[in-house]
Structure 1
């Protein structure tokens, strides 16, 4: 499924049968993710005290096992980034401006509108969804982009850009969308107390550490044995680790929240409806925008996934810290990944299908790794 491992998807543009040559992990990724979600939910229900044990130690306000899974998941992808090519991304004003507008103007506004349309009579869930909309993705989007053969360098730049804006804008936008705008519109509002330092600390941990590790690995690996060895031998060895980290993170995340999800199934459905609409609107709208302004498939894909994904770790942490672990706001945050993970996996396949149909003669301009 991915071109980042020995058999490249670039060949799939000419030979769809490449799927048969992919590793079992890649070929059946949606199945493994589904099983990981189910396993996590079951573990959270059948093992007494598991939640307490997993939450006993935290890093940046996030359970240590989840923190480890996120770092393991992100490192191999960031080790693949060609850091000497980042200037080609920072010079692309169309991409950067489009990403900022989508993430910090359109995304929160779309989630605010959907939350009020679908959850007008459910204040806690509505507030929780608005918080999810404010938390722009800086973690899992990197692996979704890589699976869809997006532009790694662009993803690294856009995630870093989102991280800076997240530190600056999250609290301000939370105040605007939960207090000011509802008051202007004659709607009932809520208060959001969140520390800018707490957000900055999460960014430094969950983006800064794997980004630095990836940069240093490439720098010293290429110096020691050359780029051919690094991209031809080293990267294929560590590539699958990202997917193992993803599956581990999903299991732990759903184990932590399994009881909340399974004990309120109809509420989960209620929250899921606006979330599904949000992911569809943001991804499809971003994809259309990218193509309309002339971005390549790779950068259009990166733009779409960085706009559609959300930082559910931050959203859950803020909801729990502000409203409590048993609050409806926290449940809305928990439902976020329950919907986001399978939807964005499906959109990976949609992206790859669009690539073959819209760009049948396109070939990768980068070395596959």
Structure 2
């Protein structure tokens, strides 16, 4: 039996033996990041300083390693048929731009002006709400490729969904944030937005296309083009997982001291973020199920709205409110919450794939 078949049989949904325990490895990496961030903060301070336009280059490199394997699977010849299945795109656009920013703002106000009003100073509460709004208005660009790969999503369709999101974000992010924050002088860091899209989508997409073309022209004797691509992506998939784990160590290392010195604040900010993440996922997932969207489109469709474009949110928070502001802290907490949440949703999606059409 081929290696790909053995892996698929071992873990329904396409997750291999190592990835089956991915949540355990992530938990260990979170602990390692917190420990190292407090023991050797100088190293992480140096790594944090390696950035261009608020995009951290070490993290960007690791995300690139995660995204590249899926880009190899993108079949450009199939792009012309994406319009034949508009349901997934429709759900993505409606949930990400007509629902998610407003529910995030509503949850922020509910918790920090009502539920947690006695625990947080009013000025700090407004800062945290602002940070949550920035996260809610910035749907994911890069990491969704990782979550899609872990659910064996359609890579071509996922690329289209992300690309549509990016185009809408260029025009809608600033007006939405201005509306929800009640201000009009939102300075969108276009260099951050464009550099992130280039690093996380364009560059790996070009590299993936070149690799795919090479694989198709150098397939083994008797091997189909699809089998050649599958063999290659199976071989490099561990690089993607290791990139995810290293990213977790870095992110938690960068914020290790903050997390340990302000545990209550971190926990309070995490509450509305958790409710938003799970709520948005199940809303999109239920809509996809009711509309009979195939699983390989439905899973990425729901995961895109759940994940956030944290580089953009953090950059805008720092630009508007300052590096040590509550808004910046809230966007960072969004980063820390995202990985464990997304892994749990990936696991749920893989367990429920049988409820969706296969094609």
TM-score normalised over the length of structure 1:
0.86
- Alpha-carbon distance change, 22 to 111 in structure 1, aligned in 2, over 3 angstroms: closer
Shift of 1:8: 4.5
1:102 is matched with which residue: 95, 98, 116? 95
Distance 1:177 1:262, change over 3 A: same
- Contact 1:166 1:199 (8 Å CA) reproduced: no
Shift of 1:256: 1.1
User: Aligned Cα RMSD in Å?
Assistant: 2.2
Q: What pairs up with 1:122-271 in 2 under 5 angstroms?
A: 122-179=125-182, 192-225=186-219, 227-228=225-226, 230-271=228-269
Give the match for residue 322 of structure 2: 324
In structure 2, which of residues 41, 46, 53 is the aligned counterpart of residue 48 of structure 1? 41
Q: Is the 8 A contact 2:53 2:195 kept in 1?
A: yes
Alpha-carbon distance in 2 for matches of 1:213, 1:321: 32
State the TM-score, normalizing by the size of structure 2.
Answer: 0.89
Q: Report the secondary structure of 2:333's partner residue.
A: helix
**Deviation by residue 1:126-145 (Cα, 9 ceiling, x = unmatched):** 10011011111011111112
Distance 1:50 1:232 in 2: 38
CA deviation after TM superposition for structure 1 residue 24, in Å: 4.1
Counterpart for residue 118 of structure 2: none
Cα displacement (A) at 1:268:
0.7
Offset from partner CA, 1:169-203 (integer Å, 9 cap, x none): 211211111116xxxxxxxxx96322334312221
Does structure 1 residue 299 correspond to structure 2 residue 297? yes
Which residue does the alignment assign to 2:18? 25
Matched residue SS, 2:218? helix
**Residue segments in structure 1 that go unaligned for 5+ positions in a row:** 12-16, 181-189
Aligned length: 342
Structure 2 unaligned runs (5+)?
A: 114-121
Kept in 2: contact 1:77–1:242 (CA 8 A): no
Q: CA deviation at 1:334?
A: 1.0
- State how far apart, in whole Å, the 2-side matches of 1:135 and 1:91 are: 27
Residues 197, 49 of structure 1: alpha-carbon distance in 2 compared, 3 angstrom cutoff: closer
Matched-pair contact (CA < 8 Å) for 2:138–2:310: yes
Question: Structure 1 stretches (4+) deviating beyond 6 angstroms?
Answer: none
* Cα separation, partners in 2 of 1:59 and 1:230, compared to 1, 3 Å: farther
Give the Cα separation in 2 of the matches to 1:228 and 1:28: 28
